[in-house]
Amino acid sequence: MVYKVKRYLGNTNTMELHDTQNENTNCQLDEIVADHRRWYDSISEAKRDYDFDNCHWCIGNSKQ
């Protein structure tokens, strides 16, 4: 189980952003390698840092 540091978790491998307060089993947060995890307080903060796409399952409005 992923210890939730902040609300949003970005995966720099898949470039997906997840909402840990709305986690879905399809998000597979436990599968994200620790080196690929980036934690954020807000979506806007995450998207300033990387060009993350929203996770289809926990945030919605995915570009993919």
pLDDT, the chain, mean: 95
Query: How confident is the model over 35-58, as a mean pLDDT?
Result: 97
Confidence of residue 5 (pLDDT cuts 50, 70, 90): confident
What is the amino acid identity at position 18?
H
Are the CB atoms for 11 and 18 separated by under 8 Å?
yes
What are the pLDDT digits (tens) for 7-35? 999 999 999 999 999 999 999 999 999 99
Domain layout of the chain by residue ranges: 8-54
Are the CB atoms for 36 and 1 separated by under 8 Å?
no
Q: Is the pLDDT of residue 64 over 80?
A: no
Q: Is the pLDDT of residue 2 over 80?
A: no
